[in-house]
Structure 1
Amino acid sequence: MSTTAAPMAPQAAAAPLAPQAATAAKYVYLTFDDGPHPKCTAQILAILRRYGVRATFFQIGENAARRPYLTRRADQYGHSVQNHTWSHPNLRKVRWSTFKSQVQSTDRVLRRQTGYTPRCLRPPYGATNSVVAKRAAALGKRVTLWSVDTGDWARPGTSVITRRVLTRVRSGSVVLMHDGGGNRSQTVAALPTILRTLKARGYTFYALWCS
């Protein structure tokens, strides 16, 4: 989410986009928005690696341009790196030329570090409608929202973030968290308990690719 504005409620949670490999009886998609952040993204990547978990990072283009080594690291660790626009505008309120520039500029930066063009687009604030979906499709993108919102952007406390995930998650859930856009130390602190508990419950973790 933006560092200057609270998120708008999404119009509707997109259906989980399960890759062919998602054949486990219970599975979940962990997603992180607004990075890469020099401290929090690095910490989250280290925790995910420790637990052998793959996730999806929806990155802001201007952040990835400043910290390409973190985009590269996420890719090297086997995570999916996807498009969250260049500077986090509300895509329902921009003209086509701005929409295209926001998405394609981010694609170019991410492609340089990962070798592939993102297929998923997460609209900032979850702000989407039929026009956003059509424009995304014209650029080869699939709008990708979430089904479990931790609200971690508001820093509600580590225990609250943990509880929201563990009480709301179901097989196929797409969980929204943040590694950027502000101080995400609470998210970092919550992540080990979330991973340990979901693993103990028999969940497998997959990344989103929208292919």
Structure 2
Amino acid sequence: MLTRRRALFAGATALGAAGAAGTAGLLLSGSSGPAPAPAAGPPAHRSFNPSAYRLLPMAGGGRPHEPLTTPVRPPVRRAPILRMSGRGRTMLLTFDDGPNPDYTPRILDILAKYNVRATFFVCGEMADWNKDLLARMADEGHAVGNHTWTHPLLTRRTRRQIRVELESTCDIIEKAYGQRPQWFRAPYGAWNRTVFQVEAELGMEPLAWTVDSLDWTTPGTSTIVRRIERGAGSGVVVLSHDAGGDRTQTVRALRTYLPRLLDEGYQFTVPHRAQT
């Protein structure tokens, strides 16, 4: 039986709202490169290629099973949350697109070395192939969020397609991690009114980022380190990736900047919802 989260998230602070924005499609910079063209038709049978998974069309068929637990529905937001609120020099480290069997364990090893918790926004297709890594995240106190099943541009999908992408990923996270996700990050940072509504129906809050490492462009380890260290500050949410390509630079950068920021007095936590 897969384990539930065992570690308590010490020192976590609530996330604040990013403020109101228009309800038309919202596309944030960064987030795993240029957006793909919408998929045409149902997916054909094919072998799984981890490096190209986000280019597959939407995961198919009927409505997934009923959730094992009933999610608490948050309010429907008009903009994603961009940063934390709270006291002290506290930051969030977030990693998108995984879990990847090569890079995610190395990131987890570094986080464990420094007793740091992070948030992993996983794609359902990757999670389905790497359930053991979600179980490890649960055991080591990390948060797991929803990043859709196939990483599509949701603003070009129907409500039904959006729901299948999100709900199927919620289901696999619940099975492998031990509880349904409370946080959602839209691929390419692209939200619209329908996305906000569906994620709220599924019990999730939208979390974006404050500092984009742009590691998906493989700019060099030193460049990633410099971007994150220059952007460090209270309430900052850092975006990096643990899949979707060669993430060797991301791993090396984490190994460099994490002890430096800890020495400067920064603390790292996972998102918790504000008490209402």
Report if TM-score (shorter chain) is over 0.5: yes
Match of 2:208 in 1: 145
> Within 1, Cα distance between the matches of 2:115 and 2:161?
38
Q: Given residue 111 of structure 1, which amino acid in structure 2 is its aligned partner?
A: E
- 1-side partners of 2:121 and 2:96: how far apart? 5
Does the 8 Å CA contact 1:14/1:147 hold for their aligned counterparts? no
Aligned twin of 1:30: 93
Instruction: Tell me the equivalent position of 1:113.
Output: 176
The SS at the match of 1:58 is: strand
Query: Given the alignment of the two structures, is residue 6 of structure 1 paired with residue 34 of structure 2, yes or no?
Result: yes
Residue 82 of structure 1 pairs with residue 166 of structure 2: no
Report how far residue 134 of structure 1 moved: 2.1
Q: Within 5 Å, which residues of 2 pair with 1:34-113?
A: 34-113=97-176
* CA pair 197-47 structure 1, distance change in 2 beyond 3 A: same
Matched, 1:177 2:244: no
Change (3 A) 1:125 1:13: same
Contact 1:120–1:142, Cα closer than 8 Å, also in 2: yes
CA distance in 2, matches of 1:149, 1:75: 25
Distance 2:99 2:163 in 1: 22
Residue identity opposite 1:14 in structure 2: I
Q: Which residue of 2 aligns with 1:200?
A: 263
User: How many pairs were matched up?
Assistant: 203
* Match 1:16 to one of 77, 83, 86: 83
2:189 to 126, 134, 140: 126
Q: Tell me, yes or no, if the aligned pair for 2:84 and 2:236 is still in contact at 8 Å.
A: no
| Paired residue secondary structure (1:92) | helix
Indicate conservation of the 8 Å contact 2:80/2:206, yes or no.
no
What do residues 176-201 of structure 1 show as CA deviations (whole Å, max 9, x unaligned)? 00001111000000002111111111
Q: TM-score under structure 2 normalisation?
A: 0.70
State the Cα distance separating 1:15 from its structure 2 match: 3.2
2:213–2:239 CA contact under 8 A, matched in 1: yes
Tell which deviates more after alignment, 132-141 or 50-59.
132-141
CA distance in 1, matches of 2:181, 2:232: 26
Structure 2, unpaired ranges of 5+: 1-30, 37-77
User: TM-score w.r.t. structure 1 length?
Assistant: 0.90
Q: Partners in 1 of 2:162 and 2:105 — Cα distance?
A: 29
Q: Which runs of 5+ in 1 are unaligned?
A: none
Q: Structure 1: how far apart are the matches of 2:158 and 2:272?
A: 27
Determine which structure has more spread, i.e. the larger CA radius of gyration.
2
Counterpart Cα distance in 2 of 1:61 and 1:31: 17
Distance, in Å, in 2 between the alignment partners of 1:194 and 1:187 is 10
The structure where helix makes up a greater share of residues is 1
Query: Residue 29 and residue 7 in structure 1: after superposition, are their counterparts in 2 closer, same or farther (change >3 A)?
Result: farther
Out of 165, 171, 184, which is 2:228 matched to?
165
Q: Which AA in structure 2 matches 1:140?
A: G
Secondary structure, in 3 states, of the residue corresponding to 2:191?
coil
Q: CA RMSD in A?
A: 1.9
How far is 1:159 from its partner?
0.3
